[in-house]
Amino acid sequence: MLFITKSVEFSASHRLYNPEWDFQKNQEVYDKCNNPNGHGHNYVLEVTVKGKPNPDTGYVIDLKKLKDILVKKVLIHLDHKHLNVDVDFLKGVIPTVENISVLIWDIVKPHITDGELYKLKLYETPNSWVEYYGEPVEIKRFENE
């Protein structure tokens, strides 16, 4: 089995807060990430596909095809956006790197037709990231957010 990874980058801002909590509780939990005007990151998204190479092409998946999926299905919605405000698939969701990863997986998975989506790794900073392997995770959505 082979594992092939494509890396793409996007810049976005967000605010971490739970609308069911008061400002003090949000401040205790999220600290400076609770800035009412948001704060930004330069994210790096790595998507790994596993499989056996197609004998006719030698590819598990054509990396140009994978990049095209990521650009057209994910980056177009996230790059230079405020995640709380501008991104439909994040409406009502606390935009933590964990929640973002799960929702990106759900978007990308149906479009991987060569190989199998294996892992998604999303860096919020060079020192902080999440790895997601597709296990079901329930994401809470808040009304009127």
> Are 45 and 10 spatial neighbours (Cβ–Cβ below 8 Å)?
yes
Whole-number Å distance between alpha carbons of 121 and 140? 21
Whether 82 is catalytic: no
**Cα distances (angstroms) measured from residue 135 to each of 5, 94, 131, 132:** 19, 19, 11, 8
Q: Is 131 a catalytic residue?
A: no
What single DSSP character describes residue 123? E
- Tell me the CA end-to-end span of the chain in Å, nearest whole number: 43
77 assigned to active site? no
Catalytic residue among 9, 80, 111, 145: 80
- Among candidate residues 33, 41, 111, 145, the one labeled active-site is 33
Active site residues: 33, 80, 124
